[in-house]
Structure 1
């Protein structure tokens, strides 16, 4: 009977140790995933800033071209016709 109790205690200690190791591994993996999420969010935020800046630049250029848009369209049409006729 005493031997069975000793065997069960050793099994319990072994299982407990393995469970702690698994828990530590899961915590490390969770922290790693959290870091990856933070890095991805920072990258997305940076790309978003770049896109917003590019969009503002496009709008600025469009406003700059607005008065001459019709003449620009005519010029492009003439160039296109000239290339097609060649």
Structure 2
């Protein structure tokens, strides 16, 4: 299993079809990277976070780095996706 996981990591880090996604993740902070990954995995857009983050425009500002996720946002996202709060914090 360890060898398979290692091979999958290598593939995801070097495959051309992941290049744009990986570059985008490397440019933003960890919390935004987690949020973008969740959006991609669950096929969500900025209008799907009204309860956790607020309006579509506010979510866009967070994704563009103009606003930061607050502790309250992080708590709500953690509950929604059943993830530990620490995943959003460096």
TM-score (norm 1): 0.23
Which has the bigger relative contact order, CA under 8 A and spacing at least 6? Answer: 2
TM-score (norm 2): 0.22
